[in-house]
Amino acid sequence: MTVLLFMHGWGFDASIWSGVVRHLGRFDCRMADRGYFGAPITVESDGPCVVVGHSLGAMHWLADLPEGCRGMVAVNGFDRFVEGDDFPGVPRRPLDRMIARLPQAPAQVVTDFRTRCGAEAVAGTPELAPLLADLELLRDGDFRDAAGGLPVLSLQGANDPLLPDTMRGAIFAKASVTRMTCENAGHLLPLEAPEWTANAIADFARAVA
C-alpha cells in the first residue's frame, strides 16, 4: 500500500486533511502536525512514499524530503512565497508586520490569517514558538533548487486570495511539474474541494509508484 505523508500549512493543523483522507481508503495516510495548537506529530515512511503539503507544508517537505520520496503533491503550495530574485511572489512587508505582531497577539494574528483564507477561527490556544519559526520560514524560505527534478503535482484554486496568478504559474519551475486548477476554490482546497483534491492525489500517487 502506497504511503502518503501529509503536512498542513501555517495557522492550521492536521485536521485540515480529514475530508481528503476520507476519499483515500486505498492508501496508508499519515498526517504530521506542526504543534501550533498542541503536541507536534512527526510522520515517516520506511519505504517509497509520496509527500503532500498544503501551503507552507510543501516547503516543509522540500526542506527535508524523506528517503524514498517518489514525488510531491503541493496543495495550494509553493517552493517560495515572497517576491524577489525574479520571482513574482507575495510582498514581504505584510509578513514582517505579522512577525512583529505575533508575540503580542498570537491568537488575533492567527485568526486574521485564517479569516483571510476563508476559514473559521481555531478553538485551541496558539503555541508561539512554532508559529513564529514557521512564519519566518514562510518569509525567508526558498526551496526552488530543492524541487529540481522532483515529480510535483501542483494543485491550485482559481480564486486563491493569497497567491497571485503570476506566482501560481511560476512555482516549481525547476521541478517536473504538472499543474491543475480547481475553478471554484481558493486557498483551502482540502476543505473546499476535498474529493477533487483526493482524486488528484490518488492519480498522481499511482502514476509515480
For residue 124, give the C-alpha cell: 485551541
**Contact indicator for 159, 187 with CB cutoff of 8 Å:** no
Per residue in 122-169, pLDDT (tens digit) is: 878 999 999 999 999 999 999 999 999 999 999 999 999 999 999 999
Any residues with CB less than 8 A from the CB of 68 and at least 6 apart, and which?
45, 46, 47, 48, 49
Give the pLDDT confidence of 75-121 residue by residue, as tens digits.
Answer: 999 999 999 989 999 999 999 999 999 999 999 999 999 999 999 98
Domains in the chain, CATH or no CATH each: 3-208 (3.40.50.1820)
Model confidence pLDDT, tens digit, residues 56-80? 999 999 999 999 999 999 999 999 9
In the prediction, which pLDDT does 122 show? Answer: 82
Angle between helix 128-140 and helix 93-101 axes, rounded to 10 deg: 170
User: What residue type is assigned to position 109 of the chain?
Assistant: V
In sequence order, the 6+-apart residues with CB closer than 8 A to the CB of 89 are 78, 80, 81, 82, 83, 164, 167
Neighbours of 92 (CB within 10 A): 14
Residue 178: what are its φ and ψ, rounded to 5°? -120, 135
Helix 106-117 with 93-101: angle, nearest 10 deg: 140
> Hey, which residues does 188 pair with through a beta bridge?
none
Comparing C-alpha atoms, which of 152, 197, 206 is closest to residue 21?
A: 197
Structural contact between residues 141 and 81, judged by C-beta atoms closer than 8 angstroms: yes
Chain segment 3-14, per-residue pLDDT in tens: 999 999 999 999
* Contact by Cβ (8 Å): 206, 48: no
